[in-house]
Amino acid sequence: MSEYDVIVVGAGLAGLRAATRLAEAGRDVVVLEAGDAVGGRERTDVVDGFRLDLGFHVLNPAYPAIRRWVDVDALALRRFPVAVGVRLDDRVARLAHPLRHPSSLAETLASGLVRPTDVLALARWAGPTVLTARAAKTGDDRALAEAWDRAGLRGPLREAVLEPFLAGVLADDRQETSDAFVRLLIRSFALGRPGVPAAGIGALPAQLADAARRAGAGIRLSHRVVSTRRRAHGWHVGIEGQDAVTARAVILATGLDPALDVSLAAPRGLQTWWFAADEAPTDDGALRVDGRRRGPVVNTAVMTNTAPTYAPRGQHLIQATCVLPSDASESGIRRQLAEIWDADTRPWRLLRRDDIARALPVQDPPLRRRRPVRLGDGRYVAGDHRDTASIQGALVSGQRAAEAVRADLGR
């Protein structure tokens, strides 16, 4: 039976960051991953030559954890325009970040979606947090819908742009999410320019896994942990079809297996449809939303306009995202996409549909930015449910769990 200082269950972002930090500190650590690849939700599969992420993901280089622990240049990030296209009854309006795309300012103002009263309300709501993150960490927190009402944000900018856009980001189409969390998210969008790695979002955990191995951590794939049992001097960890292992401490960096008996935040789900096309419906890389709200699709994008590496040469990849639960049919999705893109979607080939029931942990108000990582029995927990529902939160939680283990074992 193998013995370690620390066993990390789950090779997602949190688990990989925790393993790296512990190995750097000289601890004997192994990561046990149930799947056949690292990454957890941040995974990329190649299907018929197309790179399909597990759901629609973006990487924001403005996150402090990304700047600190990730080599963004090595990922060859393909950045989306900081803009959104909005399907209206008679046209598509395009709104762009005035500082990132100053030449689009006139088009944005002429869209009919940005009234002076809306701009003032938006500034009241988000402006202080864009200037300093502390603004979102003080005062009362409430549901996003209530916060928008209080700020006077009620016009077409809210209904046709912000609501559908954020529904796909938060997996919440009722605006029940913590207002403080959303303002922090908007701040990160304002300061950064999100994109996708050229090789798919799976390149991020692959890089983190390489760092963990270089630091001395072991990573075992296809090792599904089915039990953790307390022993006199540590923990006995059972693995499906494999010999059990033991360790002085265990970090649970996955919330998918009820056998681990750890209570986690309730999840929100997203559904993503991936289509292949011979011709792109537009040459614009911006995310597009349905401002009319006439169907389950909350956002869609031609991925290959931003990252041509996501498809074979001469082909195009389109994603469409819905909030779960969804009873959307393929014909209904095609019908709505035909209207959003003003294109014939019948020749498009469905490559895959991803139903991610645990896409994000619920972030209800009041926002708790730091949840405990110690379970109090020699086990620890890591994941974006311990911090904020984001790549930033996942990485920070892994670091926090590792530091807690270091401190406790050091005693």
Q: Tell whether 18 is covered by a domain.
A: yes
Q: Tell whether 385 is covered by a domain.
A: yes
Confidence at residue 180, expressed as pLDDT on a 0 to 100 scale:
96
Percent of the chain with pLDDT over 90: 82
Confidence at residue 1, expressed as pLDDT on a 0 to 100 scale:
58
Q: 334 falls in which pLDDT band (50, 70, 90)?
A: very high
Q: What is the number of structural domains in the chain?
A: 1
User: Quick one: which H or E segment has residue 237?
Assistant: strand 234-239
Confidence at residue 354, expressed as pLDDT on a 0 to 100 scale:
98
Asked if the model's pLDDT at residue 256 lies above 70, the reply is no
Q: What integer best gives the mean pLDDT of the chain?
A: 93
Q: 259 falls in which pLDDT band (50, 70, 90)?
A: low
Span 281-291, mean pLDDT?
97
- Map tokens 């090789």 to a residue: 199
Confidence at residue 266, expressed as pLDDT on a 0 to 100 scale:
85
Confidence at residue 148, expressed as pLDDT on a 0 to 100 scale:
97
Q: How many CA atoms does the CB half-sphere of 98 hold within 13 Å?
A: 6
Confidence at residue 255, expressed as pLDDT on a 0 to 100 scale:
64
Regarding predicted confidence, which is higher, 111 or 340?
340
Q: Tell whether 232 is covered by a domain.
A: yes
Asked if the model's pLDDT at residue 35 lies above 80, the reply is yes
Residue type at 27 in one-letter notation: R
Distance (Å, whole) CA 182 – CA 162: 11
- Map tokens 């938006």 to a residue: 122
Do residues 13 and 205 make contact, with C-beta atoms less than 8 angstroms apart? yes
What one-character DSSP code corresponds to residue 204?
A: H
Distance (Å, whole) CA 64 – CA 388: 13
What one-character DSSP code corresponds to residue 93?
A: E
Distance (Å, whole) CA 333 – CA 45: 22
CA proximity to 208, closest of 387, 37, 2: 37
Percent of the chain with pLDDT over 70: 97
Q: Tell whether 128 is covered by a domain.
A: no
pTM comes to 0.95
Q: Tell whether 79 is covered by a domain.
A: no
Whole domain around residue 229: which residue ranges? Answer: 2-41+202-265+370-410
What one-character DSSP code corresponds to residue 49?
A: T
What are the tokens at 34?
Answer: 């149930």
Rounded to a whole number of angstroms, the distance between the first and last alpha carbons of the chain is 25
Q: Tell whether 342 is covered by a domain.
A: no
Q: 99 falls in which pLDDT band (50, 70, 90)?
A: low
Quick check: helix, strand or coil at residue 47? strand
Regarding predicted confidence, which is higher, 259 or 125?
125
Q: Which residues pair with 287 in a beta bridge?
A: 84
Span 279-292, mean pLDDT?
97
Q: 260 falls in which pLDDT band (50, 70, 90)?
A: low
Confidence at residue 261, expressed as pLDDT on a 0 to 100 scale:
64
Q: Tell whether 245 is covered by a domain.
A: yes
Asked if the model's pLDDT at residue 169 lies above 70, the reply is yes
What are the tokens at 261?
Answer: 């008996």
Span 396-410, mean pLDDT?
96
Q: Quick one: residue 346, left, alpha or beta (phi over 0 = left, psi -120 to 50 = alpha)?
A: alpha
Sequence-ordered list of residues with C-beta below 8 angstroms from that of 246, at least 6 positions apart, any chain: 1, 2, 3, 4, 231, 234, 235, 236, 237
Span 112-134, mean pLDDT?
90
pLDDT tens track for 184-193? 999 998 888 9
pLDDT tens track for 302-331? 999 999 999 999 999 999 999 999 999 999
Q: Tell whether 153 is covered by a domain.
A: no
Q: Looking at residue 397, which CATH number applies to its domain?
A: 3.50.50.60
